[in-house]
């Protein structure tokens, strides 16, 4: 005797919020629309604004305006030697550098230079 197994899947048009298939589309701006909010990526070993590869202060301000309550901040561009060990800025920098170790693109390399990683 053969037994049949019935598989039940949630419908894609389900309006229930707990369904894993009912995901909201992110409201992040497309890269095309937000290009003016990013510093241009420049080749070379510059640091800070010369390096590019991150959001500018103007871009962060524009993002915060569109997304109230956002905690987005600009890069910590202070050289590590001038940061007080254990400060919030030093912690943010250390965390970013650890997170971005595997970034190999030009944009990623520029961002890491900007953060002095």
pLDDT per residue of the chain (117 residues) written in tens, 0 to 9: 566 666 555 555 555 556 555 555 666 655 555 556 666 666 655 554 555 667 888 888 888 999 999 888 888 989 999 999 999 999 999 999 999 999 998 888 888 988 998
What CA–CA distance (Å, rounded) separates 73 from 56? 10
pTM greater than 0.75 (yes/no):
no
Phi, psi of 59 (to 5 degrees): -65, -40
SS3 50: helix
Contact partners, residue 78, CB within 8 Å, separation at least 6: 89, 116
Contact partners, residue 38, CB within 8 Å, separation at least 6: 52, 53, 54, 55, 56, 59
């Amino acid at each position: 005797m053969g037994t049949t197994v019935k598989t039940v899947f949630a419908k894609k048009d389900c309006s229930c919020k707990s369904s894993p298939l009912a995901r909201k589309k992110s409201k992040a701006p497309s890269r095309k629309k937000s290009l003016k909010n990013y510093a241009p990526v420049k080749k070379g070993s510059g640091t800070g604004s010369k390096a590019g590869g991150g959001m500018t202060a103007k871009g962060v301000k524009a993002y915060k305006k569109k997304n109230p309550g956002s905690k987005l901040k600009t890069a910590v561009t202070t050289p590590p030697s001038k940061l007080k060990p254990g400060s919030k800025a030093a912690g943010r920098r250390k965390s970013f550098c650890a997170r971005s170790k595997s970034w190999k693109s030009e944009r990623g390399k520029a961002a890491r230079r900007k953060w002095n990683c």
